[in-house]
Structure 1
Amino acid sequence: MTPAADLAPRVLVPLAIRGEPPAWGQVVHALQGQSMGTTWSVRCVGPAALRLDAIEAVIAATLNDVIAQMSHWEASSALSRFNVAPPGHVQSLPAGFATVMDAALRVATASDGAYDPGAGELVALWGFGPAWLRPRHDEPGFALPTEAQIAAAQRDWRTLRWDAHQRRLTQPGGVRLDLSAIAKGHAVDRVSDALAECGLPDHLVEIGGELRGAGLKPDGQPWWVDLEPPTPDCGLPPTRLALHGLAIATSGDYRRCFTTADGRRLPHTLDPRSGRPITHGMASVSVVHDSAMWADAWSTALTVLGHEAGLALAQAQGLAALLVWREADGRFAEAWTPALQELAL
C-alpha cells in the first residue's frame, strides 16, 4: 500500500473563522507534562514575559480536579467511591462529574449501549483497569475471562438513576463506572476553558491525542493538526484539520491492543453489549466537534458499532466523522459523514 505521507493531504477548515490575530509581539509558548496516565501538551499565545509557572500551575490544578472526581485508578476519587457504594446509595456529583455523566448517558442511550459508562467491571475483567482491582493484561496472574465471568461482569447501565437537575446518581448495586472514554476529552475542554479565563484565548490543548484549538497563532494561522493514520502505509491520503474553535478525538484498534497466548490480537476497545473486545475490523474513528468531551465519547461509540452501524448513527446525529476500517483483503477503506465533508476545502 502507498504510504500516506506520499499522497496529497485532504484539508478541513471550520465553517467560520472568528476573531482577530493576537496583538503584535505575542509569541507561542509550549508547556507539557504527564497526568491521567498519559501525556499532555499546551501551546498558548501570550507576551514573551508570560509567567509560565503560573499557567502550568493552573493546568495542573485543573487536571488534578478531573482526577479527583472521575479517575477509576484512584481509590479515593468520587467515581471510585460511587463504584463501591451499596445498592440504593445516592451520591451528589460535583459539576464536572455531573456534566460528563449526563453526556455519557446520552451517548449510551443514542448508541443503544455501544458506549456504556457502566462497563467498568468488564474493563477490569479484561485487564484494562487498575492493578489493585484485577490483574492487568500485561501482568502475571492475568487470564482471559470465561463465559461465566463475562456474563457476571455485565451490568445494565439503564439501572443507573440519574437526576440531572439535582446532580444525583443512584447506585443500583454492582455497577462500576468507567468514564475513561469521555473524561479525557472533558479534561481537554476544562484546560481550554481555564486558559481562556487566564486571558489566553489563543491556544491548542492536547491530552493523550485528543485536541482542542481556539483562536489563532501570531501569524494569523489556525492550529493545524494532522490526523493519525491507522498505519503509515494505509494507502489513504492524510487529513489535515484547522483547529479553530474545534476539537477532535480519535479511537481505534491500532492504538492499544494486546496479544493473547494463542496469538490473537485484541484491541482495548470493548463492546459492552457482548462483553468482549471488538473484532469487526474498525481501525479508527475521528470525530470533529466543538467539544472534546463529546468527540471523545462519540468516537468510542462509533468504533464499537463498526463502520456500517457507526456511519448510520453518525449521520443521524449530524456528526462530523471519519471512519476507517479493514476490508477482508487487508486493505483499508474509509467513509466521511456529510458534516465532515462540509469542512473540506
Structure 2
Amino acid sequence: MRSLFRLALLAIGLLALAGCDLLPSKKSDEYQLRGNTMGTSYTIKALNVRGKVDDETLYNDIKKTLDEANEALSNWKKESEISIFNNSSSTSWLSTSDRFHEVLAEAQIIHKLSGGRFDITVSPLVDLWGFGPADNKNPPTKEQIAEAMANVGQTELLEVKDNPPMVRKNKPGVTITLGAIAKGYSADLISRTLAKHDITNYLVEIGGDLMVHGLNELGEPWQIGVEKPDEAGRSVQLVLPVRDMGIATSGDYRNFYFTDEGQRMSHIIDPTTGKPVTHNLASVTVLAPNGMRADGWATALLVLGEKEGRALADKLDIPAYFIRREESGFVTSSSKAFDALMAAEK
C-alpha cells in the first residue's frame, strides 16, 4: 500500500537477517533480537533486562506476540484472519479477535479524520495501477478506475462494531489491506510484551515503523534518523531525539515508475480520486503515542500533500515532519506540534 522507508536507526545498525536471531551484547542486561515478520524485518533492543526475565522466556513471549499478530493481520498469510475476511463474499457481521478489531477501529478513526485519504479498502486501485502482485505499468482507463472504485471506500463499504467486536463488508468484493498500519501496531504489541516484564528502556522497529520507550544506553532519548527521500542513495536528513512514542515515515521515492510518456507514477494512491498523487511531497514522518497511530497518519498526511497535510496536523496536534522535492533540492517543513515536541527535547 505504501513504501515505508527504513528509518536510519542511529542507535543500532539494521541488517536484514533471515530467521530470528538473538544477538550477542557486550552488556549482560541488554537484549537484542532480529528476524522477519509480515514480509519485512524487525529489530528489538531492550536495556536493563537483567533480573527481570531470562532471554529464553523473553524470546518466546516476543515470538508468540508476533505469531498472534500474523495470525490476525497478515495479508501474506493465507489462513490469517484478514485473509479469511477478504476471501469471504459474506456481507453478514463477522466476529473479530481483539487484535483485528483494535486495528480496524483505529483505521476507521483515521479514515474519517483524514477525509477518506487513509483507506484500507484501497487494494483494487493499488493493483490496477501496477503496484500489486501483477507487474502492470500501463495506466488504466477511466472505465477501469471506475470499476475498481466500486469496491473502495471505508465509509460506505466497511462497518466496525465495538461491542461485541465485529466487522462486515457491505459488498461481497470488498477487501482490506493493513499494510499502512499493521506494522506499527505490531511494534505496539511487542512494546506491551516488554512492559509486561517491567522493561522500560527499549526500541522496537518493524519494517521501518518504531515504538521507543525510556532512554538509550547513554541515558538520553533514542536518536532516530529520518532518511532523506533521495532515490539515488541513502542518507540522513534529520536526527530526532525521541522517547515514549511511535514513529513512522511514509515516502513515495522507493516505489514508483515512469510511463512511456515520461510521467512519474507513485504507489501512493489517493482513494478519493482513484489515482496516484501528483503533488511534490516526498515523505512525511509522524510521531504519535503509539506506533499504530503514527503508521496510519504518515500515510494519510502523505496522500493529502504538504499544504493540506500540515494544516490537518496543526488542527489535530499531530507532530509531523514534511519533506518535499523542488528543482533546487529538498525543502522541509513541520507542524506546530512537531516543533513544540523537538523544542521540549533540547
Q: TM-score range by the shorter chain?
A: 0.7 to 0.9
What is the alpha-carbon distance in structure 1 between the residues aligned to residue 142 and residue 289 of structure 2? 40
Offset, 1:289 = 1.0
Equivalences for residues 117-156 of structure 1 within 5 A? 117-129=120-132, 131=133, 135-137=134-136, 143-154=138-149, 155-156=152-153
* Matching residue of 1:245: 244
Q: Distance in 2 between matches of 1:168 and 1:307?
A: 35
What residue is the counterpart of 2:87 in the other structure? 84
Contact 2:231–2:253 at 8 Å: present in 1 too?
Answer: no
Summarize the Cα distance change of 1:51–1:267 in structure 2 as closer, same or farther, 3 Å threshold: farther
Runs of 5+ consecutive residues of structure 1 not aligned to the other structure:
1-24
| Superimposed CA distance per residue, residues 129-165 of structure 1 (whole angstroms, 9 cap, x where no aligned partner) | 4x4xxx245xxxx654332222111122212222122
**Which residue in 2 is equivalent to 1:13?**
none
Runs of 4+ in 1 over 6 A off after TM superposition: none
Q: What does residue 73 of structure 1 align with?
A: 76
- Of 32-41 and 118-127, deviating more is 118-127
TM-score by length of 2: 0.82
For 1:105-254, list aligned pairs within 5 A: 105-129=108-132, 131=133, 135-137=134-136, 143-154=138-149, 155-159=152-156, 160-173=158-171, 174-231=173-230, 238-254=237-253
Matched residue, 2:20: none
Partner of 1:257: 256
SS in 1 for 2:57: helix
Q: How many residues align?
A: 311
Any unmatched runs of 5+ in structure 2? 1-26
Q: Structure 1 residues 222-231 or 119-128, which shifts more?
A: 119-128
Q: Structure 1: how far apart are the matches of 2:300 and 2:230? A: 22
TM-score by length of 1: 0.83
Identity of aligned residues (%): 33
CA contact (8 A) 1:285 1:321 kept: yes
Give the conservation status (yes or no) of the 8 Å contact 1:157–1:175: no
Please state whether the residue corresponding to 2:250 is helix, strand or coil. Answer: strand
Structure 1 CA distance for aligned equivalents of residues 262 and 42 of structure 2: 33
> Do 2:82 and 2:176's aligned partners in 1 also have CA atoms closer than 8 Å?
yes
Q: Which amino acid aligns with 2:288?
A: H
Judging changes above 3 Å, is the alpha-carbon distance between structure 1 residues 93 and 128 closer, same or farther for their aligned structure 2 residues? Answer: farther
Shift of 1:188: 0.8
Residues 35-61 of structure 1, C-alpha deviation per residue, up to 9 Å, x if partnerless? 111110011112299643433332222
Paired with 1:152 and 1:37, the residues of 2 have a C-alpha distance of 29
Q: 1:38 aligns with which of 29, 37, 40?
A: 40
Corresponding residue of 1:5: none
State the 1:302 CA deviation.
Answer: 0.4
Q: Which whole-Å CA distance do the structure 2 matches of 1:114 and 1:273 have between them?
A: 7
With a CA cutoff of 8 Å and minimum separation of 6, indicate the structure with the bigger relative contact order: 1
RMSD: 2.5
Deviations 1:9-30 (A, max 9, x none): xxxxxxxxxxxxxxxx764322
Aligned to 2:96: 93
